[in-house]
Each structure stands twice: as C-alpha cells, then as structure tokens.
C-alpha cells in the first residue's frame, strides 16, 4: 500500500514537538530494545505454608502480585512490607525475602523475565532492585484472568504485557540509567555472550569465551569482572542455573535427561551443582512446584 499523507498542514500549525524518534533516538532505542516475556499467570489460595519460617528465599524469575484477600508480610533487609488486597507488588528475581503468613489469602500473581541483549536480564544485574508496593491496582485488569479457562486470548495477554511495562517503569525510576549502564557493561562482551547462548552447558570453558573475544583468559576475566561485577565463571553458572531451573520446573524431563541436555558428566554432578546454586535438589524443587502450584 502506498503511504500518502493528505492531512492539511494547517492542522499541525503551532504544534510543539514533545517527542520525535529522530530527536529522541537514544531514549526510543532504550525503550524499544527491552523485551518482557510473561512466563506464567497464577491464581491461588495460600496460607501458613506460604510462610518461609524465618528463612530468606527468592525466585529466579521476577514477580508481580495482586492480593485479593487476606494480609501477609514480606521482609527485605530491615524493611517490612505489608501485603494487602487491592494493591500490586513487585518481587524482583534473585532477591531473597522472608515471607510471613498466618491466615488464608487469595492472590493472583505472574512471573516474567526481561531481556535487552539476548538471554541477559538487565533487571537481575540492577544493583538497586528491591521488592516494593506499586500502589492500587485497577480491578478491571483482573476481569480476563479470574476464573479463566485453560486458554487465554491474545488480547488479554497483550493487555497484561502492556500493564507489566507500566508497572516495571514505576518500579524502576532509574530506567534509562539502568539500561544504559547494562549495555555499556555488556555490549563489550557480545561475542562471549553469543557463544554462551550457542554452546551453553557445563562443559563450556572460560578459555572458549575469551577466545571468542580475541583475548587471553586472564585479561578476559579481569575485564569481565570489572564491567559486570561477576567473574565469567559466576556469570556462566548463573546462566546455566537459569536454564536448569526452567527445565526442572517447566518440563517433565527426568533429572538424568536434564543433566545430559546441559552436558554435565552425569546426574550426580548436575544434582550437586543444582543444590549448591539453589539450596535444594532438582527433585525437591519439582515437588515444591507441584505442591504449591509454583507459588512463592
């Protein structure tokens, strides 16, 4: 179709430009590059079993929760967050909190991940991330999800994804700086990250990542640590664990099959790695997800 603008120029006379892609290209690229992927939406009744018993625990995905009834508490650091109905709460991934609950509560919550560079979540690398209340929630947002059947319409998902973006912008007032800092520390290692995604597995070596960058392993490790705050081994283990968590909680693959897919020498070495990273065995995590409906 040929694009023709037949609108009279007089209609734009005196208009003040508030945004144009040509003028505000940097902001446009930062905003457009961030992808948000909703992993799941859940409705559940929870009670004292939700209480963490004084332990501080975290989920590997980010979460947004809309309580429908009951009252609970979440402790992050020295801060006590009262969780009550009608409001929405942001629970960032890899951010341990203590959960307190003594009564039955109804809730709807969702898990999601973010991505700017392939398979790299900028929010997980944001040092200022914290659990927080985001304010009242529009009750009409829940209409499509309460009592939903097994199939959700694309319209409902599209609407929810748009709302998640609004909530995330509210939770991260330093959004521009967070993305800019993330890109400056990660873009320099794009070749290493691309290799990491192509060959992700327990047998991937730091020397291979360094070779992809065209430097020796020592120089690569120092530069990587300086820019990302993590050593290459720590970063690789975190990424490998993210993949393992997804396979354990989101598939019916046997632990032996997951170990083989991630190229561990055997099931024993995979289970030992998984327990070290998550504090529980793969089977214990799978049982927890099955009992709680993947509840936090």
**Are the C-beta atoms of residues 164 and 172 closer than 8 Å to each other?**
no
- Domain total in the chain: 2
**Pair 158, 187 in one domain:** no
At residue 72, the 3 state secondary structure works out as strand
User: Residues for the chain: how many in total?
Assistant: 296
At residue 133, the 3 state secondary structure works out as strand
Domain residue limits at 188: 183-292
The crossing angle, in degrees rounded to 10, of helices 217-228 and 206-213 is 90
**Are the C-beta atoms of residues 213 and 220 closer than 8 Å to each other?**
yes
Q: Domain for residue 225, yes or no?
A: yes
Q: What would the pLDDT profile of 92-114 be if each residue is shown by its tens digit?
A: 998 999 999 999 999 998 999 89
**Structural domain ending residue among the three candidates 139, 172, 205:** 172
As to burial, measured by CB atoms within 10 angstroms (0-12 exposed, 13-18 middle, 19+ buried), residue 16 is: exposed
Q: What would the pLDDT profile of 273-291 be if each residue is shown by its tens digit?
A: 999 988 889 998 888 766 5
What is the model's pTM? Answer: 0.77
Tokens (6 digits) for 161: 């994804």
| Cβ count near 89 (within 10 Å) | 24
**Structural domain ending residue among the three candidates 172, 197, 232:** 172
**Rounded to 5 degrees, what angle do the CA atoms 195, 196, 200 make?**
120
What CATH number is attached to the domain comprising 132? 2.60.120.10
Q: What would the pLDDT profile of 201-242 be if each residue is shown by its tens digit?
A: 999 999 999 999 999 999 999 999 988 888 999 989 988 998
């Amino acid at each position: 179709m040929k694009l023709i603008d037949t609108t009279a120029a007089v209609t734009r006379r005196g208009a003040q430009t508030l945004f144009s892609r040509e003028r505000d290209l940097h902001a446009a690229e930062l905003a457009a590059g961030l992808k948000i992927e909703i992993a799941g939406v859940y409705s559940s009744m929870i009670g004292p079993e939700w209480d963490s018993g004084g332990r501080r625990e975290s989920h590997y995905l980010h979460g947004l929760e809309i309580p429908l009834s009951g009252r609970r508490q979440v402790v992050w650091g020295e801060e006590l967050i009262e969780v009550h109905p009608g409001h929405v709460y942001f629970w960032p991934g890899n951010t341990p909190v203590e959960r307190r609950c003594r009564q039955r509560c109804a809730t709807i919550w969702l898990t999601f991940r973010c991505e700017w560079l392939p398979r790299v979540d900028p929010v997980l690398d944001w040092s200022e991330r914290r659990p927080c209340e985001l304010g009242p929630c529009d009750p009409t947002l829940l209409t499509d999800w309460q009592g939903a059947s097994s199939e959700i319409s694309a319209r409902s998902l599209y609407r929810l994804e748009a709302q998640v973006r609004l909530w995330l912008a509210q939770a991260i007032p330093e959004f521009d700086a967070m993305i800019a800092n993330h890109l400056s520390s990660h873009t320099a290692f794009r070749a290493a990250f691309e290799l990491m995604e192509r060959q992700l597995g327990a047998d991937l070596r730091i020397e291979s990542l360094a070779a992809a960058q065209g430097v020796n392993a020592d120089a690569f490790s120092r530069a990587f640590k300086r820019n990302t705050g993590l050593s290459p081994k720590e970063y690789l283990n975190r990424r490998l664990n993210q993949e393992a968590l997804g396979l354990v909680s989101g598939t019916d693959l046997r632990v032996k099959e997951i170990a083989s897919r991630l190229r561990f020498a055997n099931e024993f070495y995979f289970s030992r790695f998984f327990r070290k990273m998550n504090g529980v065995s793969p089977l214990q995590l799978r049982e927890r997800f099955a009992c709680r409906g993947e509840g936090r």
